Structure 1
């Protein structure tokens, strides 16, 4: 085991900035949806639109970074080691004598459960929430692209967008729980995402049960 930089400066910046933006979007979005009243509808809607554009550009840059660095391979799902990790999360975290079965390396940062969760977030939740959000934002221009009067309705778009927002909320709660309560010590994952450093297996990617990122 050796302490090495697992998360680069950009990854840490992207992670925390994205977290702040997603929290802001959920807070303003649920207010726009009528869940509660804080900023007022008009102010919340305006901040929701501004924050959405910032997050869109952040994700565009993040996608570009993942493609040119090959880091996208870190998210390829794998069934190997899945049962062991699930057993650890459901039972092992309550036993101080049980260590995490997944041996992280610089080439395979995410365990099998994380890979599935992040893939679902990136492939399912994210596209749905952005497509419906942009459709909602540009509703007055639907006639330009031939959507006006078609099978797609504003109410339907709003419903799907809200459902995706709840899915994102569930993911966010699960992510916070896993990051804050499943490491040993409990602050281990949060510390590594702040400093970038973590104790990992440097030269044994085969033990992770996951394909290495090239």
Structure 2
């Protein structure tokens, strides 16, 4: 028997899908800028990547404001409770039709592994992307600002690409794990409607 619980508010769903669209677009344009393939042309990819990056900065600033004014920031406090149960579920429980060890509620929307993954994105991958990205954007000012003594463009490019690959791995894992609900589309449906079905 399952119950429906209203877990994700309208803004959370807007923020989630807008962020997803921006991050995927940044990956597509960024890997072209990095020289992985040709799709839009280098100059167009650079221009689009820059606009997308500033758009994501704006979205994140608004999301940070929203999370702190609503108290929703508490949803991301990491915990080690039930981490072992979540690891076992994702390693083999999914394949043996084991019950999910975590049910989302309005007060606890993310399981312990999600919280740890989001923390890693927030404190490691995100800052690495933003710092190296801003160094890229302001490359023409390095000499005037004295940054050219400390920064190397190949190193900035390598670190930016490394962080982008980590983000890509996160996106792939995130999309895969959305299929780990009681039906393959249950979690995706919850992020569209706001209603999570729980056992």
Same fold (TM over 0.5): yes
Aligned counterpart, 1:9: 10
Aligned counterpart, 2:88: 87
**TM-score for the superposition, normalised by structure 2:** 0.95
Alpha carbons 1:128, 1:164 under 8 Å: kept: yes
Aligned counterpart, 1:117: 117
CA distance in 1, matches of 2:34, 2:63: 29
Aligned counterpart, 1:186: 184
**TM-score for the superposition, normalised by structure 1:** 0.89
Aligned counterpart, 1:62: 63
Q: Per-residue displacement from partner, 1:148-172 (whole Å, max 9, x unpaired)?
A: 2x12211111111111000100101
Alpha carbons 2:7, 2:104 under 8 Å: kept: no
CA distance in 2, matches of 1:31, 1:91: 37
Cα shift at 1:75: 0.9
Alpha carbons 1:106, 1:200 under 8 Å: kept: no
Alpha carbons 2:33, 2:42 under 8 Å: kept: yes
Aligned counterpart, 2:33: 32
Aligned counterpart, 1:211: none
Query: Structure 1 residue runs of 4+, over 3 Å off?
Result: none
Query: In proportion to residue count, which structure has more helix?
Result: 2
Cα shift at 1:95: 1.8
Alpha carbons 2:133, 2:160 under 8 Å: kept: yes
CA distance in 2, matches of 1:39, 1:134: 22
> Counterparts in 2 of 1:148-159, with a 5 A limit?
148=148, 150-159=149-158
Cα shift at 1:103: 2.8
> Counterparts in 2 of 1:35-54, with a 5 A limit?
35-54=36-55
How many residues are treated as equivalent by the alignment?
A: 198
Alpha carbons 2:85, 2:101 under 8 Å: kept: yes
Q: Per-residue displacement from partner, 1:108-132 (whole Å, max 9, x unpaired)?
A: 1111111101111111111110111
Alpha carbons 2:75, 2:109 under 8 Å: kept: yes
Q: CA RMSD in A?
A: 1.3
Aligned counterpart, 1:71: 72
Alpha carbons 2:186, 2:197 under 8 Å: kept: no
Aligned counterpart, 2:146: 146
Matched, 1:129 2:129: yes
Cα shift at 1:42: 0.7
